[in-house]
């Protein structure tokens, strides 16, 4: 039968506090009010008598620390009535609670400091991403030069497979989307130009916009969402399953085996899809012109040939390989950043899509400003 714990004043000395009974977790609730009642009556010179203390565990030791204070309890551990085990237990608990009390509350951070600190973290993160992307671009170009000098190492089977997935399977969605956008651009242009009696220039509007901007931009954005995400998911799954480590163990180069076939396939497929997008966009504009503006197909082709120079087509096609390379590299890089969980695969796939679309739009805007200033 356990002894009930108690706190009492020693009959021989009013300044001495007698602690007895079982100070264990089972009696924690009963001891709390006694500790709260006895603590205000103690002073710095109060002593403690542990001779009648029976059982003791960490819960009881923590109550003794609250009753006497950590420093005073450590000073009282020289009591001969305490065994070595209890001295060690009380010293450990008192030291831990004293260190916890010494930990100061973290200073309150101002809203402005948190705001500008967050901006700094975002800018630093963007800088690290840019540096990482440039490094991966350099690594890809270096491996590309090695492969070009040794045609026997070209992986034509993998290239053909990726060409089918990237290019051939994407033709229907590219054609349908650009056809509809071309029809919308022609309809809006005709609506505005009809107020000036210049609906005939709808042909120039559709052709100019799709040859220079819309054809390649819409194709690149679709490929960023469709293909960059696929590259990241495929390589990321291999990284999570440690297949890339196995490739390195076999003495193979993951850049040569996984990245270059995808980059080559994208460099081939995106310009071809851009050409399809240009044709379908102008076809959608031609349908609107024929149905609503009474412009015959032969008249549409004549105006297209007379008013639209070849350089607009070359500008649009010239952007396609640049966009293709950036999209493929970003998709593969994010795949290699996967850490090993399904959540990481999803996060990196989303990041690849966002980064690809962002980079494509930024590069297109810079190219448009440069070409406009050059008069091209």
In angstroms, the CA 344 to CA 336 distance is 11
Do residue 191 and residue 240 come from a single domain? yes
Q: Is residue 318 part of a domain?
A: yes
In angstroms, the CA 250 to CA 315 distance is 44
pLDDT value of residue 338: 86
Report yes or no: 10 and 18 within 8 Å, Cβ to Cβ.
yes
Its pTM stands at: 0.68
Of residues 181 and 158, the one with the higher pLDDT is 181
In tens, the pLDDT along 297-336 reads 888 888 888 888 888 889 889 999 999 999 999 999 988 8
Chain position carrying tokens 């203390």: 53
Do residue 95 and residue 185 come from a single domain? no
Give the chain's domain count.
2
Q: Which of 102, 119, 153 is the last residue of a domain?
A: 102
Do residue 188 and residue 320 come from a single domain? yes
Which residues lie below 8 Å from residue 365, measured CB to CB, with a gap of 6+? Answer: none
Do residue 168 and residue 96 come from a single domain? no
pLDDT value of residue 1: 44
Chain position carrying tokens 């090695």: 146
Do residue 345 and residue 222 come from a single domain? yes
Which of 83-87, 245-249, 326-330 tops mean pLDDT?
326-330
Q: Is residue 110 part of a domain?
A: no
Q: Which of 74, 102, 130 is the last residue of a domain?
A: 102
Where does the pLDDT of residue 173 fall: very low under 50, low under 70, confident under 90, or very high at 90 and above? very high
Of residues 157 and 104, the one with the higher pLDDT is 157
Where does the pLDDT of residue 217 fall: very low under 50, low under 70, confident under 90, or very high at 90 and above? very high
Average the pLDDT over each of 44-48, 108-112, 191-195 and give the range with the smallest value: 44-48
Q: Is 315 left (phi over 0), alpha (psi -120 to 50) or beta?
A: alpha
Do residue 22 and residue 73 come from a single domain? yes
Strand order in the sheet with 47-56: 6-9, 16-23, 47-56
Do residue 196 and residue 89 come from a single domain? no
Q: Which domain holds residue 35?
A: 6-102
In tens, the pLDDT along 344-370 reads 888 888 989 999 999 999 999 999 888
Q: How far is C-alpha 148 from the geometric centre of its chain's CA atoms?
A: 34
Do residue 208 and residue 299 come from a single domain? yes
Do residue 95 and residue 213 come from a single domain? no
Q: Is residue 10 part of a domain?
A: yes
Do residue 349 and residue 266 come from a single domain? yes
In the predicted structure, residue 238 carries a pLDDT above the cut 90: no
Do residue 188 and residue 43 come from a single domain? no
């Amino acid at each position: 039968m356990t002894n009930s714990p108690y706190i009492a004043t020693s009959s021989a000395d009013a300044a001495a506090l007698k602690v007895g009974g079982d100070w264990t977790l089972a009696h924690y609730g009963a001891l709390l009010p006694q500790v709260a009642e006895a603590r205000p009556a103690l002073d710095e010179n109060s002593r403690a008598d542990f001779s009648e203390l029976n059982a003791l565990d960490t819960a009881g030791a923590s109550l003794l620390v609250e009753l006497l204070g950590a420093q005073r309890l450590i000073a009282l551990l020289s009591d001969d009535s305490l065994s070595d085990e209890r001295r060690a237990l009380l010293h450990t608990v008192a030291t831990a609670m004293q260190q916890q009390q010494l930990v100061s509350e973290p200073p309150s951070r101002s809203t402005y400091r948190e705001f500008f600190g967050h901006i700094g973290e975002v800018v630093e993160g963007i800088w690290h991403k840019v540096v990482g992307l440039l490094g991966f671009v350099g690594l890809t170009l270096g491996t590309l030069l090695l492969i070009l000098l040794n045609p026997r190492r070209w992986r034509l089977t993998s290239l053909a497979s990726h060409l089918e997935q990237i290019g051939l399977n994407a033709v229907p969605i590219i054609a349908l989307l650009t056809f509809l956008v071309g029809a919308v651009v022609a309809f809006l242009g005709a609506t505005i130009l009809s107020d000036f009696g210049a609906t005939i220039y709808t042909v120039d509007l559709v052709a100019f916009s799709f040859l220079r901007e819309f054809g390649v931009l819409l194709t690149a954005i679709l490929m960023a969402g469709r293909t960059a995400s696929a590259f990241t998911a495929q390589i990321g799954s291999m990284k999570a399953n440690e297949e890339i480590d196995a490739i390195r163990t076999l003495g193979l180069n993951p850049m040569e085996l996984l990245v270059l076939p995808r980059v080559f396939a994208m460099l081939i497929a995106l310009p071809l899809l851009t050409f399809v997008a240009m044709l379908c966009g102008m076809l959608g504009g031609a349908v609107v012109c024929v149905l609503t503006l009474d412009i015959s197909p032969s008249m549409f082709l004549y105006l297209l040939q007379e008013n639209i120079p070849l350089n607009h087509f070359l500008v649009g096609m010239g952007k396609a390989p640049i966009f293709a390379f950036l999209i493929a590299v970003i998709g593969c890089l994010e795949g290699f950043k996967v850490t090993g969980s399904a959540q990481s695969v999803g996060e990196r796939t989303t990041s690849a899509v966002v980064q690809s679309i962002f980079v494509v739009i930024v590069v297109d805007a810079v190219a448009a400003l440069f070409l406009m200033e050059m008069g091209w």
